[in-house]
Structure 1
Amino acid sequence: MAWNTERTRQLLLDAAVREFAEHGPEAARLDRVAAAAGVNKERIYQYFGNKEQLFAAVLTSALEKLAEAVPLDEHLAGDLPEYAGRVYDYHREHPQFIRLLHWEGLHRGDGPVVAGEQRGAHYAEKLAALAASQKAGTLTSDFAPRELLYAVIALAGWWYATPQLAQMIMAEGTETARDTLVRLVAKLAG
């Protein structure tokens, strides 16, 4: 019987997302990843190398999934509030992404970014889309594209990064969190 390498690799990645999101890169255990995936632990080393490389693969894969699910091109950048709402929706459905980013920040601090060149290229594409939308006049030029993108990412993700704050501060509002976010980004985007 032929070994399905791609399927095995994906099973390991999916299990590793859960493990790293729950425990972080320091406390995550490769034996739990292998058991959850139903795969021999040695396959992790064969496909990914060590735990640090697996964490890098998990972050890269999670970012690619977000980028695929919520793209931002020049056309979509013209409706930045709706983009922010879609990012918010993605985080609601995939809360592990925010947790992975937080673990990365806690684990690495100001150190090198995992897969920094690849991830930087991803954000450069988004910045170019925002710049093009500004040039076309469909998006405010009051802020640099990097400022807009960072603000949208922070606003869309912070609801899930600190749900206790949202619960305490926003508890009595009649507007949904998504509606509030969209309204805030609409003001920001001009």
Structure 2
Amino acid sequence: MRAVPYDSAATRARLLDAAYDEFSARGLAGARVDRIAAEARANKQAIYVYFGSKDGLFDAMLAVRMSSLADAAPFTPDDLPAYAGALFDALQDNPDILRLTQWAWLERADVTPAEIESHEAKAKAIAAASPAALSETRAMDIFILVVGLCTAWTTTAPALRAAGVSDPAARQAAHRAAVVAATAAVVDRLSAD
């Protein structure tokens, strides 16, 4: 009987996928490496070899998922309403990503340096793309409001189902339109100050 060759890239990918399910359901504190390893069909020690710790696995998994979110909703600083619509759609399609970020906010005191760098880069891009002379602080305000609009409306989807809304798809489309319109209004208003 021949042994199956070990594929470290495949094991790492399975661990990241299993971690996504476990962390989005239970958060960082509630997640168990035993369950993640079992779901990934991997040895628990592989988590420590590849990621150093449960926290390291969480960080790596979140970075991968945020990267996929960025691919699904490319940042367009010169057309923030379109970005808001794309971000709303991506969050609707992947609600666990929002749940993961909420777990991170609840369970960690600080934002990671990578998150700060990402947000600052987006604020700089908004300021540079604006026809008005926006400060980076004002551009950051705009970015935070846009993300807030998308995440707030995204959390309403389960409530619509629970409330028995007769046409949740139409209501979701209305929410998306509201997010895009609100983003345009925010950009116009805050760019005028």
TM-score (norm 1): 0.83
Aligned mates of 1:168, 1:3 — CA distance in 2: 45
| 1:99 corresponding residue in structure 2 | 99
Aligned mates of 2:9, 2:162 — CA distance in 1: 44
Name stretches of at least 5 consecutive residues in structure 2 with no aligned partner: 189-193
Aligned mates of 1:188, 1:140 — CA distance in 2: 16
Is the Cα contact below 8 Å between 2:24 and 2:96 reproduced in 1?
Answer: yes
- Cα RMSD over matched residues? 2.6
| Structure 1 runs of 4+ with >3 Å offset | 139-143, 161-169, 171-175
Q: 2:174 aligns with which of 173, 176, 179?
A: 176
| 2:140 corresponding residue in structure 1 | 146
Matched, 1:44 2:47: yes
More RCO (CA 8 Å, sep 6+): 1
Distance change (3 Å), C-alpha of 1:129 and 1:166: farther
| 1:54 corresponding residue in structure 2 | 57
Identity of aligned residues (%): 32
Distance change (3 Å), C-alpha of 1:183 and 1:106: same
How many residues are matched?
A: 179
Aligned mates of 1:117, 1:99 — CA distance in 2: 20
| 1:23 corresponding residue in structure 2 | 26
Is the Cα contact below 8 Å between 1:88 and 1:157 reproduced in 2?
Answer: yes
Name stretches of at least 5 consecutive residues in structure 1 with no aligned partner: none
The alpha-carbon deviation at position 94 of structure 1 amounts to 1.0
The alpha-carbon deviation at position 101 of structure 1 amounts to 1.0
Is the Cα contact below 8 Å between 1:25 and 1:103 reproduced in 2?
Answer: yes
Q: 2:71 aligns with which of 64, 68, 91?
A: 68
Is the Cα contact below 8 Å between 2:153 and 2:179 reproduced in 1?
Answer: no
| 1:125 corresponding residue in structure 2 | 121
Which is higher, the Rg of structure 1 or of structure 2? 2
Letter aligned with residue 85 of structure 2: G
Aligned mates of 1:179, 1:124 — CA distance in 2: 27
Letter aligned with residue 91 of structure 2: H
| 1:33 corresponding residue in structure 2 | 36
* Cα deviation digits, residues 105-153 of structure 1 (max 9, x gap): 1112xx233xx2222222222112101111xx1x784981100100011
